Amino acid sequence: MQYPLQPALKVLLSPLSAIYGAGVLLRNTFFKWGIFRGREFPLPVISVGNITVGGTGKTPHVEYLAALLRDKFNVAVLSRGYKRKTRGFAVVSTESHVEEVGDEPLQIKRKYPDVTVAVDGNRVRGIQKLCRCKGRIQAVLLDDAFQHRWVRPGISVLLTDYSRPLKDDMLLPAGSLREFVSAKERATTVIVTKCPPDIKPIERRIIMTDLKLFPWQSLFFTTFSYGDPRPVFSETVPFPEREIIRSEKYGILMVTGIVSPRPLRKHLRSISPRIRQLRFPDHHRFGRKDVARIKDAWNSPGENLRMLITTEKDAARLRQTTGLDDELKRNMYYIPVSVKFIDGCGESFNKKIIDYVGKNKRDHILC
């Protein structure tokens, strides 16, 4: 979980950032000089990633791409499966366990069961194995792969959070940058994510100026669109009507294990102003003590908590958490999130992606 550091702490950590930066610089220099070489594949490869630690909306953007391509091409999603307890290559099914494949790959598979989803920390090996899968994969989406330079994608999408400008950040551990801001030159497309839906043109121009992109790089702006609450479990009862929530003053228990839950909390205020929040670290595995903490919060006297609402990513883990009683399961919902391009620029983005995949889709049997 990333929190803004105090200025004094940033100063104390800056020597460690310098050491970290030297390692990053050396690695990138080796790739630049050809000592390390990325591999190209005879099929379309689209990478989605960032140069900051978490919280830019990678999974919703990968889902957007999967939804865009799935009806026209046999597309696969390849992730490293962050925080899974297994190693090597694995194909994700809707019944996979979160500890075997990770929460985000499982979320994508449950949302799009007809899309091939796989995990492998070694992306080169993962693509090779996908090429040998039945069904003739025609394109691969790499989730969180901007730093994985062993694969050379045809399109590299770099995400940057609207609320965390790159120019104001520092390298780890003093800041949240995984590498220098100059690394953005490797991207073919840059997307500023989590923008206010009503972001003004002048503000977009300021961001464009600050990013200092090259003419051959495309820039887009997106925001999040929140859907209606959906049941986490099969036994979850229908979500209460908004009028009943307001008239009966129902409260919400908000449970999250993500980097930045603030946008979700803001959205939930449109449902009920009475929100009790439990915040856990990103990708948190819920254990017995966590379940006890959730139960205690749910049963707090005087708060009239009637709905437990979480994120789609947390729902993937909570479904497989033991110890949740029937009452919690009956009242547990998640909020689906989707990507929306601002000012209709999504058509241009979609055309760019579809044209690239259509012209380069694989007709080979092996990679």
- The span from the first CA to the last CA of the chain, in angstroms, equals 38
The number of residues making up the chain comes to 367
Calpha distance 200→293 (Å, rounded): 42
Is residue 275 within 8 Å of 330, Cβ to Cβ?
no
| Residue type (1 letter), 265 | R
Q: Kindly give the interhelix angle for 58-69 and 103-111, rounded to the nearest 10 degrees.
A: 30
CA 183/CA 178 separation, integer angstroms: 10
pLDDT of residue 50: 97
Coil, strand or helix: which one is 247? helix
SS3 state of residue 309: strand
Fold of the 230-335 domain: Rossmann fold (3.40.50)
**Helix/strand/coil (H/E/C) assignment for every residue in 40-87:** CCCCCEEEEEECECCCCCHHHHHHHHHHHHCCCCCEEEEECCCCCCCC
CA atoms in the 13 A half-sphere facing the CB of 332: 26
CATH code for the structural domain at 38-226+341-360: 3.40.50.300
Which residue is associated with the tokens 């390390």? 36
Residue 55's pLDDT is 85
CA angle 277, 278, 279 (to 5 degrees): 110
Burial class (CB in 10 A: 0-12, 13-18, 19+), 305: buried
Structure confidence by residue, pLDDT tens digits, 78-110: 999 999 999 999 999 999 999 999 999 999 999
Task: Please indicate whether the domains covering 38-226+341-360 and 230-335 agree at the CATH topology level.
Answer: yes
What is the pTM for the complete model shown?
Answer: 0.94
- In 3-state terms, what secondary structure has residue 319? coil
In this prediction, residue 1 carries a pLDDT of 42
- Both structure tokens of 134: 């039945």
Which among 8, 38, 341 is positioned nearest to 186, based on CA atoms?
38
- Give the model's pLDDT for residue 54: 80
- Both structure tokens of 316: 């993937």
Residue-range domain boundaries for the chain: 38-226+341-360, 230-335
Grouped pLDDT means (10 residues each) for the chain, 367 residues: 67 94 97 97 97 93 98 97 96 97 98 97 97 88 97 98 93 95 97 96 97 97 97 95 95 96 95 97 96 97 95 97 96 98 95 97 62
pLDDT at 9: 87
